[in-house]
Amino acid sequence: MSEPKENVLMEKIVSLCKRRGFVFQSSEIYGGINGFWDYGQLGAELKRNVKDAWWKTIVHHRDDVAGLEATIIMHPKIWEASGHVATFADPMSTCKHCKKLVRFDQVWEMIPENAWAQAIAEICPDGLVESPALLAWAKGKGKHLAPNLALVRNPEVTLSFLAARVDAPDATRLTTKELYQYLATEQVGATGLQTPCPHCGGELTAPRPFNLMFKSHYGPVESDDNVCYLRPETAQAIFAQFKNVHETARQKVPFGIGQMGKAFRNEVTPRNFIFRSREFEQMELEFFIKPDEAVEALAGSVAKASDNAWQGEPQADWGWEVWHKYWVEQRIRFYEGIGLTRDRFEEYWQKPEELAHYARACVDILYKFPFGTQELEGIAARGDFDLSQHEKHSGKPMGVFDEELRAAWGKLDEAKKASMRAKFVLGKTAAFLKKGADETEAAQQAEAEATVYFDKLAKGQYIPHVIEPSAGVDRLILALLADAYSELTTTDEKGKTETRVVMKFHPRIAPVKVGIFPLLKNKPELVAKAKEVRDLLRPHMTVFYDDGGAIGRRYARQDEAGTPFGLTIDFDTLGEKPELLDTVTLRDRDTQQQTRVAIKDLAGLLLPKVR
Ligand code: GAP
């Protein structure tokens, strides 16, 4: 079985998704709407199975996580408290020529995907400038491919600046990026090097922040008093409902709240199929933990992440670092459990300078998508930022009281308290400096916070810290589609070869678990028996009954849908060979091996594989 080349793979996946009903363009009959996708009959089942697997793993199979299902539209102050109103923005530029909007930080990712840039890269391999060929291209094909590129609009002038650069006595070799910039710039001296519009090569405006939240109004009057937003993440509802869940679920920290559901972001450039869309789904867990100082007071010390403690069961001496690593490992194990192998992932640990000022660490779980290695899930250690913000903005206390902590704190010796305080002040000072405070201010603010914080700890009170594993459903669907896609080439007795698609989904997430096929549809006894088998299995798993066409065609159709098992009801099932009475042929999609199984054993055999 051969694996198709990666850049072609995306096109094949998109085409299969439409052909078989995994994913359709939203509102297709009206020309579609950019950044919105619908899931068809197979896609809806696949998505449901993925979400079920997450919910079972994160919520049902743990004692320390509760579920939540909150509204999409919430009080607008939630988004002020979270920082989304002020800062949830991407840099956006407009092309002065074709008027298209582009996300400025993605321009250099998009340029090589366009035919004009590919043509230039071919003319000038490795940055070696071929001016006559560029001139000919600009006066020919370039007019269609990149009509607004400076090279096309004014070739001689543009090339003269490029020549000055490459012919300079001390010239270094051009990078491809620099080459595109020169070809996009008519007057380097006047404007500096320009970044071309990925679509037409034209000039881009300076980037400006564009808030990604979809805005609306609640109630009949459209005024500033009733502005609301479609949630851009599911997480904030968890923070807003933290106290309610904590009290009613009778959970003690450490514990988590999981939520999945729709999120909306008015992405400047939705792209790569369902990878980046404007309406999507998230599966998010906020796992609340004690601050390290409380752990130290209670357990005597805080476990070190370097001791690999995170690979085992949670312990009382785990601080944020070990919990963070634990969740990274748990999430990768989840992906393995639904068929994605560990070697398809990379972990990107954000550098200190990339972290938000409140974050202690953040790891992006990257997946090798057909178009590149990109984020599938983010797992952040966010300190107590979120609950503190909601406490500040709502005026409602978000802390918890822990009697054991109060008692343990009373027994702590003064040297230990002083060393914890010194460490806390150091960390807070660094955070204030990062936010822009000067050294004196930072030190004073850190001391003031330390006083309030340690007074509360002594009384057994603290605001829980949080570890946030946040995954995208649609990105995971795309990863699963790409991972499952394979092609099988077969040759028949007449020497005719045929290549067809086999979607090798893990049985747990496959949209249909079992195909059920009577050998012939014009034999009522076979049909009746096949329907009996269908009705036997249907309460336990999704089945698809198919009596149309040759049996090989029916197998092929289910292989393409990713159905892991096929059952054929034939004359032996009816007792033509008495020893095979009430048995069926069970076909395995991946090995194509067929075995004979008694009908009464089917549910017991298949259920553990598909659940
Ligand atoms: N609460 C944290 C949060 O929302 P994020 O990194 O912005 O963090 C988490 O989003 C995940 O949601 C991403 O890793 C990705 O899988 C998914 N996601 C984000 N934006 C998306 C989009 N426009 N389309 C599809 N999935 C998206």
Q: Which helix (H) or strand (E) holds 184?
A: none
Q: What is the pLDDT of residues 478-492, one digit of tens each?
A: 999 999 999 999 898
Ligand 1 center–CA 199 separation, angstroms: 26
Arithmetic mean of pLDDT, 368-394: 97
DSSP state of 203: B
Q: Which atom of ligand 1 is nearest to the CA of 377?
A: 14
What does the alpha-carbon distance between residue 269 and residue 281 come to, in Å, rounded to a whole number? 18
Ligand 1 center–CA 228 separation, angstroms: 21
Question: Residue 5's pLDDT is what?
Answer: 56
The residue contributing the CA closest to ligand 1 atom 24 is 276
Q: Would the CB of 267 count as within 6 Å of ligand 1?
A: yes
Lowest mean pLDDT among 268-277, 429-438, 575-584: 429-438
Q: Which atom of ligand 1 is nearest to the CA of 380?
A: 2
Question: Residue 116's pLDDT is what?
Answer: 95
Q: What is the pLDDT of residues 232-284, one digit of tens each?
A: 999 999 999 999 999 999 999 999 999 999 999 999 989 899 999 999 999 99
Q: CATH 3.30.930.10 region(s) of the chain?
A: 41-73+233-399+463-476
Q: Which atom of ligand 1 is nearest to the CA of 476?
A: 16
Q: What is the pLDDT of residues 545-562, one digit of tens each?
A: 999 999 999 999 999 999
Whether 37 contacts 262, CB under 8 Å: no
pLDDT higher than 80, residue 291: yes
Question: Residue 191's pLDDT is what?
Answer: 87
Calculate the CA 89 to chain-centre distance. 19
The residue contributing the CA closest to ligand 1 atom 20 is 276
pLDDT higher than 80, residue 534: yes
Arithmetic mean of pLDDT, 352-362: 89
Q: pLDDT confidence of 7, banded at 50, 70, 90? A: confident
The residue contributing the CA closest to ligand 1 atom 17 is 472
Question: Residue 4's pLDDT is what?
Answer: 58
Q: Would you state the torsion angle of the CA atoms of residues 63, 64, 70, 76, taken in this order, to the nearest 10 degrees?
A: 170
Question: Residue 194's pLDDT is what?
Answer: 93
Q: pLDDT confidence of 1, banded at 50, 70, 90? A: low
Ligand 1 center–CA 578 separation, angstroms: 58
Q: Which helix (H) or strand (E) holds 465?
A: strand 465-472
The residue contributing the CA closest to ligand 1 atom 25 is 276
Q: Which atom of ligand 1 is nearest to the CA of 473?
A: 16
Between strands 37-39 and 497-503, the pairing is: unpaired
Ligand 1 center–CA 471 separation, angstroms: 7
Whether 313 contacts 329, CB under 8 Å: no
Ligand 1 center–CA 45 separation, angstroms: 22
Question: Residue 520's pLDDT is what?
Answer: 96
Burial annotation 470-479 (CB, 10 A radius, 16+ → b, else e): bbbbbbbbbb
Q: pLDDT confidence of 362, banded at 50, 70, 90? A: very high
Arithmetic mean of pLDDT, 518-542: 97
Q: Which atom of ligand 1 is nearest to the CA of 275?
A: 25
Q: Would the CB of 363 count as within 6 Å of ligand 1?
A: no
Q: What's the token pair of residue 252?
A: 């003690």
Ligand 1 center–CA 88 separation, angstroms: 12
Q: Would the CB of 236 count as within 6 Å of ligand 1?
A: no
Exposed / middle / buried, residue 337 (Cβ in 10 Å: 0-12, 13-18, 19+):
middle
Ligand 1 center–CA 475 separation, angstroms: 9
Q: What's the token pair of residue 21?
A: 């009903």
Q: Would the CB of 280 count as within 6 Å of ligand 1?
A: yes
Question: Residue 6's pLDDT is what?
Answer: 54
Ligand 1 center–CA 210 separation, angstroms: 17
- The residue to mutate among 37, 213, 233, having the most atoms of ligand 1 within 8 angstroms of its beta carbon, is 233
Ligand 1 center–CA 234 separation, angstroms: 10
Q: What is the mean pLDDT of the chain?
A: 95
The residue contributing the CA closest to ligand 1 atom 2 is 470
Q: Would the CB of 265 count as within 6 Å of ligand 1?
A: yes
Q: Which atom of ligand 1 is nearest to the CA of 235?
A: 1
Helix/strand/coil for 35: coil
Closest CA to 516 of 541, 490, 487: 541
Instruction: Evaluate the CA torsion angle 600, 604, 610, 611 in order and state its sign.
Output: positive
May I ask the CATH class of domain 512-610?
alpha beta
Arithmetic mean of pLDDT, 351-364: 91
- The residue to mutate among 278, 363, 375, having the most atoms of ligand 1 within 8 angstroms of its beta carbon, is 375
Ligand 1 center–CA 376 separation, angstroms: 8
The residue contributing the CA closest to ligand 1 atom 14 is 377
Q: What is the pLDDT of residues 436-480, one digit of tens each?
A: 899 999 999 999 999 999 999 999 999 999 999 999 999 999 999
CATH of domain 41-73+233-399+463-476: 3.30.930.10
Q: CATH 3.40.50.800 region(s) of the chain?
A: 512-610
Lowest mean pLDDT among 21-35, 355-369, 507-521: 355-369
Q: pLDDT confidence of 128, banded at 50, 70, 90? A: confident
The crossing angle, in degrees rounded to 10, of helices 115-123 and 131-139 is 150
Q: Would the CB of 282 count as within 6 Å of ligand 1?
A: yes
pTM score of the predicted model? 0.90
Q: Which atom of ligand 1 is nearest to the CA of 232?
A: 4
Question: Residue 39's pLDDT is what?
Answer: 98
Question: Residue 276's pLDDT is what?
Answer: 97
The residue contributing the CA closest to ligand 1 atom 12 is 472
Q: What is the pLDDT of residues 174-199, one digit of tens each?
A: 888 999 999 999 888 888 999 999 99
Arithmetic mean of pLDDT, 149-167: 92
For the chain, what percent of residues have pLDDT higher than 70?
Answer: 99
The residue contributing the CA closest to ligand 1 atom 4 is 233
Beta bridge partners of 585: 568, 596
Q: Would the CB of 378 count as within 6 Å of ligand 1?
A: yes
Ligand 1 center–CA 363 separation, angstroms: 13
Determine the residue type at 226. N
Q: Which atom of ligand 1 is nearest to the CA of 270?
A: 23
Between strands 400-401 and 372-381, the pairing is: unpaired
Question: Residue 168's pLDDT is what?
Answer: 87
Q: What is the pLDDT of residues 399-427, one digit of tens each?
A: 999 999 999 999 999 999 999 999 999 99
